[in-house]
A and B are shown apart, each in its own frame.
Chain A
Amino acid sequence: MNMETVINMVLLSLLVVTAIAIVRIKDLFAAAMLAGIYGLLSASFFVMMDAVDVAFTEASVGAGISTLLMLTTLAMTGRFEKISGNYRPRLALVLVALTGALLIYGTLDMPAFGTAAAPVHEHVAPRYLNDSYAEIGIPNAVTSVLASYRGFDTFGEVVVIFTAGIGVLALLMRAEKPTPRTQTPTASMHEHMVLRIVAKMLIPLILLFGLYVQFHGEYGPGGGFQAGVIFASAFFLYSMLFGLSEARKVVNHVVVQILAALGVLLYGSVGIVSLMNGKNFLDYSALSADAVHGQHLGILAIELGVGITVTTVMIIIFFAFSGRNQIEGEKD
């Protein structure tokens, strides 16, 4: 048994243990933290599978921002699960077990992991790996696939994020503006001098790293999705430590909404410009006289659109939840 197999087995066993713990535990705070750990373990597992781009996304989304959003929700709902008597959904357990069994059954005829002759390596992928540098001119083939070959899927994904923001705004938006206050209930961290000073030092670095990830996606793992999440988490950190009203001074909610829309529109406009230049929707080669240069330009533009929308939607969701918490806190 080689080292890689051992590491995989350890990581996967830890994943199972974490998943069971999340199901069993009644303390939601612990469950949220465990979910973060689950994300981090998955990310490590993806690294082992050489899928670094996916691992990066999983680390920033699964282990990072979703944990933060869950914690924000817990600030509203309370820490412990309500224990409801003799609730034992046996039928559901049977169904889940059947589903699991079917999934395992399905893996029996799968080509072994890493086999060079597997269909996924032989049909569409060789062109992505061999020709993408000549066709698109950037070294990271993953970015070429998601931003150009399958750029329309990514457009759809950005719209999914935008839709989530719209959903939260539509349901949680309040007509009345929360009164400005100096001290907010969420700022119980206010007293923690060490945390605040460390955060002050970290936030510029986080923002800088976000920018690096944003503009380095063509060369290494990264891109608009991860950058947007990293950028937004700097804002979360700031508002958690210094209070919501302080954070609101930095980001105006109307501007954030407009930016969220503009990010999607920027992505779509690249497609429209391609149309105007006589090429198909999202054909970036129409953007410049030199087709490869046009591809590079298009990818930069759409990644920027992704980054803007992801950052702002995350901020919208965070403010909608924690702002609501603040108002309900006032009522008590």
Chain B
Amino acid sequence: MLANLSIHFPVLQVVVPLMAAPACLLLRQRGLAWGFAVLAMLVAFAISVALLYQVIAGGAISYALGGWEAPWGIEYRVDLLNAPLLMLVSGISAIALLAARTSIENEIPADRHTMFYIAWLLCTAGLLGILSTGDAFNVFVFLEISSLSAYTLIALGKDRRALWASYQYLIAGTIGATFILIGIGLMYVMTGTLNMADLAQRLPEVSSSRTVFTAFAFFMVGVCLKLALFPLHLWLPNAYAFAPSVVTAFLAATATKVAVYVLLRFVFSVFGYEFSFSHLPLQEILLVLGLLGIFAASIVAIYQTNLKRLLAYSSVAQIGYLILGISFANETGVMATLLHMLNHGLMKGALFLSLAAVVYRLGIAQLDQMHGLASRMPWTMAAFLIGGLSLIGVPLTVGFVSKWYLVSAALENGWWPVAALILIGSLLSVIYIWKIIEVAYFKPVSATTPDVQEAPLGLLLPMWMLVLANLYFGINTELTVGVSQLAAASLFGGAP
């Protein structure tokens, strides 16, 4: 039975959290709902690990939903590009959900906890669905599931401004999703198919048409809205700052990465390298916007005093690095982007979870209340310190590994000024991280510092799981680097 079940892993990966959501509504009791949701996420994570090893051992897996072969039916396709991301999303979702029970005690009224867990499962299932599918329209359907539930999760924030932030995100996200849908629709008009591999085969015949160009333009703008590429990032800082703290940890580590994945999948696999980089000055646009994003957002981050907002701007800057990697349009660049997607997920997850612990004790993560906080909450601030070092890119952390490959990719193109700019960008992150470390570690405890204890284990354990992952994958890079290299090679190998 179990051996038989393994051929269904691609769909079970998505369906387990998806069906656990309505099941939680039947349980009604919030403790039960949490337990059940955690169980479902652990199963989903185990499946993602199994899938990654299946893919490494035996290549891409195709699964025909409803038993209808593509392009008539919908195909799930797990390969080296999406398998590691499936693991990232389900892993971060599971770990943050472990922390959620404690963290939302003080942030969300008790009678809404069950709904919160349901929305969490739906959002996870939506993100996993976007990653797994090999069908362009199916991407849109699961994008809607993950977006609607993300708006809900954000709006549940304690501050009333969370509602406004969520509304802004809803408007921006809906425009993005509509543009993506227009793009998919126009592709369908010109090819008569929705399957990605089939699209990749049929698009070249019509690639010179104005319709396909329009499809590409709409699709790109839509995806860039969803992934918060500067200057389309305006929804992100408020959404991350006012959302419940664990939600910020979950979304910051996963949602934008999934959008970057969609970008990569369509640019390289569906439209193809040839089309994408020859019809539009895509390389120049991405390079400029990526660099502007890194600098503008990092500089704004330096001036923030609310730590959640500070890290939110830092996320916009990090998205700049991801886009920069793509703009190099070479194998090393894309590989660095892939690697940084995983690594940034780990570091931002750890950082935002440590902020969740600060918010749990202090009610808010405001810089002027954190003087000498490291003496009161040593484990939490140590986690923040390691996460911060990883964000800067200090050796022995995951951040170093991805920056290393990013710089080498720039040098490979001979773009040494860009390489220099990447290093200067990292210096900016030293400034904003140092600002926090200085206050928490080197300032004496002042009257404004609340008298608090260390965060409870329910928060510390999940937080340290991610911190240790930051160190482990920083030292033992075999898995992440190896898989990213193979995935990047497959994107440049021509075959979709």
Contacts and interface: CB of A to CB of B under 8 A. Distances in A.
Contacts of B125: 159
Contacts of B151: 167
Contact of A120 (B63, B119, B137, B192): B192
A121 interface: yes
A309 to B, nearest CB: 9
Given A150-B73, A170-B112, A173-B115, A164 B148 contact: yes
B67 A105 contact: no
Interface string B261-273: 0000000000000
B26 interface: yes
Contacts of A125: 192
Given A163-B149, A260-B25, A278 B19 contact: no
A171 interface: yes
- Interface residue SS majority, chain A: helix
Nearest to B113: A170
A34 B471 CA distance: 59
A173 B112 contact: yes
A279 B8 CA distance: 9
B209 A149 contact: no
Nearest to A165: B25
A153 B184 CA distance: 15
Given A106-B210, A261-B22, A268-B19, A152 B74 contact: yes
A47 interface: no
A163 B138 contact: no
B442 interface: no
- Interface residue SS majority, chain B: helix
Interface stretch (A13-21, A57-65, A75-83, A281-289): A281-289
B115 A152 contact: no
Interface string A166-202: 1101110101000000000000000000000000000
Interface stretch (B214-222, B317-325, B368-376, B401-409): B214-222
A304 to B, nearest CB: 15
Interface string B50-82: 000000000000011111100111100000000
A264 interface: yes
Nearest to B183: A106
Nearest to A167: B152
A150 to B, nearest CB: 6
A118 to B, nearest CB: 8
Q: What interface size band does chain A fall in?
A: 35 or more
A110 B155 contact: no
A261 B65 contact: no
A150 B74 contact: yes
Nearest to A291: B67
A124 B206 CA distance: 17
Contacts of A116: none
Given A160-B145, A163-B149, A281 B210 contact: no
Contact of B22 (A167, A262, A272, A284): A262
Interface in B198-255: 202, 206, 209-215, 217-218
Given A166-B119, A261-B25, A127 B72 contact: yes
A159 B22 CA distance: 9
B275 interface: no
Interface of A: 102-103, 105-111, 118-125, 127-128, 148-153, 156-157, 159-160, 162-164, 166-167, 169-171, 173, 175, 257-258, 260-262, 264-265, 268, 271-272, 274-275, 278-285
Given A109-B212, A271-B11, 8 more contacts: A106-B215, A119-B192, A119-B206, A123-B71, A162-B21, A170-B155, A261-B23, A280-B65
Interface of B: 4-5, 8, 11, 15, 18-19, 21-23, 25-26, 63-68, 71-74, 109, 111-112, 115-116, 118-119, 122, 125, 129, 135, 137-138, 141-142, 144-145, 148-149, 151-152, 155-156, 163, 182, 186, 188-194, 202, 206, 209-215, 217-218
